[in-house]
Structure 1
């Protein structure tokens, strides 16, 4: 197991340092919008990033918003900037595209090279229109994000890959990087490090992929990898949840990083103290959330060193001999030897701790918020993926419903959204859902505050 972990860490170090440009961390009160396609629209990576901020910076409220729409190219994104993205009032705008821009089936046709060149040129031409708009946003920080890859190398039954599609995507990402440098914007790439992780793990399991069963849409583990890579670009590697070191013999706190240690007592061979952290551990969901998802977020830790790099709540106690039972707020967490405690244990890996359970509350509230936000993205798809072309953008009236009904049997995507739209077209429904999200966000920033924990090491 140790050899596998070292290999994972080596792969991540090799391929993430190469792509990582500095992306400034978000600040209190900022509105960070992720503009993208279906990977952003239906995915969790931006929600996982926000969960990191919710737990790591509990006193720094901000907003991270989903600006994705399924099927979008740079051309489509440009058409909805005014009606969809700019009304979100982004102080930071993450821009990712390329999956749909690069095309699909023709890569397995007679002229894949010519097709790839054509799609590349189209994508760049469309992006340049957006680039002009972004230059006119003096109060918005722009971050170019190279898209997650199309996985050509995974071996999937009944799914023939579009060979060289990701090569076209990589060219688009490179143009994004050049655009960022030219305009003094920020840039980070998800494509290259995810390709590297895919290929490394496919040596052991040819069916492994972070890009989902269709080679395109990452499952929850892939989205957590995306979140990890973005947070890594923001400089959060090595930032501890908390780190405490106590000398049991002297009853002294040798180290208290991002936390406060007080009231250290020895009662016979037992040791107790009060612990107030400034952050919560990051909770990793084990359930497959979202339509068609098969994996939980936590599975990402099999391929990235997230726990070691970004989720350490270290308890280190020297001067103890024998085995000790650890209790936090009278809840039994586990048993460790004095040697283990002297080396340090990572409490963030222990889901029984009261602080981890507190973090799980934040996670579930955030997931509930994500589910509601998704209905707004489905509503946006109806507006910009259908009604805009009909000259009925935001009409939300009887005529809009009639036009929709005339087309549902010809458009399976429209048909699947008919019931949702019939509700979301009503102003009071949208207003109520917006208020519900605000209630959830306010509740998150109410319950995410760390509290004093009573820690007891009881000699067995």
Structure 2
């Protein structure tokens, strides 16, 4: 009898809470992009939605918002650039330029940051490599670069009222079986396109690449990454030093 009574109370409480919202009503929450195949952009969706809500509720304007892939996500930006105010990091490991655009309304534009530091393209360019596991040929490098630049340009078009810093893709030193030479040459070509977009839309081109590159102009300097791709502390310090020069302009 007591159990029935308790269940009745719980049912009444649940019914009373239907339709009651404990979060903002005017709050953009990007839907997850798939229920079947894993998409990197979905990885931190719930976490970023909760964080975005708090920023909006508190009516705080980020001084700088960083958006990108794992290189951005792993960067503890406050340690290096904390003097520049309230910093928000919306990097997601494995993300690419297409899905950054898809989540930009929620993770960037609704927060109305004073400045946006955008760095992406590393994962887009991975498509030029063949998939030996599934026996799939790599895509044409020029096609991949063109599509990546179209995505970056689409983002730049939306930053008319925001100071935009488009960052170069950093050099790498990929292991076998990747074709590191083809990949690094694609990075150089992509970066030239990013620089051209900056000129077209009045964005600031942040040149990490030349400051992190070996004398060959292609591969990353020794001691700046963990495994040839992701920066270590020294690598992030180089990036912070470079970015600060542009922030001071």
TM-score by length of 1: 0.36
1:147 to partner: Cα distance: 2.3
Tell me the secondary structure at the aligned position of residue 187 of structure 1. Answer: strand
Do the aligned partners of residues 124 and 176 (structure 1) sit closer, same or farther apart at CA in structure 2, a change above 3 Å counting? same
RMSD: 3.2
Pairwise mapping of residues 197-346 of structure 1 onto structure 2 (< 5 A)?
208-213=222-227, 215-235=228-248
Do the aligned partners of residues 164 and 211 (structure 1) sit closer, same or farther apart at CA in structure 2, a change above 3 Å counting? farther
1:220 to partner: Cα distance: 1.6
Structure with higher strand content: 1
Partner residue in 1 for 2:81: 50
1:77 to partner: Cα distance: 0.3
Maintained 8 Å contact 2:128/2:183: no
Partner residue in 1 for 2:188: 170
Cα offsets for 1:371-405 (capped at 9, x unmatched): xxxxxxxxxxxxxxxxxxxxxxxxxxxxxxxxxxx
Larger Rg: 1
Tell me the secondary structure at the aligned position of residue 168 of structure 1. Answer: helix
User: Of the candidates 65, 68, 83, which is equivalent to residue 36 of structure 1?
Assistant: 68
Do the aligned partners of residues 198 and 227 (structure 1) sit closer, same or farther apart at CA in structure 2, a change above 3 Å counting? farther
CA distance in 1, matches of 2:216, 2:230: 14
Tell me the secondary structure at the aligned position of residue 71 of structure 1. Answer: coil
Partner residue in 2 for 1:65: 88
Tell me the secondary structure at the aligned position of residue 148 of structure 1. Answer: coil
1:162 to partner: Cα distance: 3.0
Cα offsets for 1:88-109 (capped at 9, x unmatched): 3211011111101111572698
CA distance in 2, matches of 1:210, 1:198: 16
CA distance in 1, matches of 2:113, 2:96: 20
Maintained 8 Å contact 1:95/1:144: yes
Maintained 8 Å contact 1:105/1:162: no
Maintained 8 Å contact 1:107/1:165: no
Tell me the secondary structure at the aligned position of residue 181 of structure 2. Answer: coil
Maintained 8 Å contact 2:223/2:234: no
1:69 to partner: Cα distance: 0.9
Maintained 8 Å contact 1:151/1:211: no
Maintained 8 Å contact 1:198/1:208: no
TM-score by length of 2: 0.64
Partner residue in 1 for 2:41: none
Pairwise mapping of residues 147-162 of structure 1 onto structure 2 (< 5 A)?
147-152=169-174, 162=180
Partner residue in 1 for 2:156: 131
Tell me the secondary structure at the aligned position of residue 101 of structure 1. Answer: helix
Maintained 8 Å contact 1:107/1:116: no
Do the aligned partners of residues 234 and 81 (structure 1) sit closer, same or farther apart at CA in structure 2, a change above 3 Å counting? closer
CA distance in 2, matches of 1:164, 1:107: 12
Greater relative contact order (Cα 8 A, min sep 6): structure 1 or 2?
Answer: 1
Tell me the secondary structure at the aligned position of residue 39 of structure 1. Answer: helix
Do the aligned partners of residues 48 and 228 (structure 1) sit closer, same or farther apart at CA in structure 2, a change above 3 Å counting? farther
CA distance in 2, matches of 1:75, 1:145: 16
- Is there any run of 5+ residues in structure 1 with no aligned partner, and where? 1-28, 55-61, 237-460
1:121 to partner: Cα distance: 1.7
Maintained 8 Å contact 1:198/1:210: no
Maintained 8 Å contact 1:48/1:224: no
1:40 to partner: Cα distance: 0.5
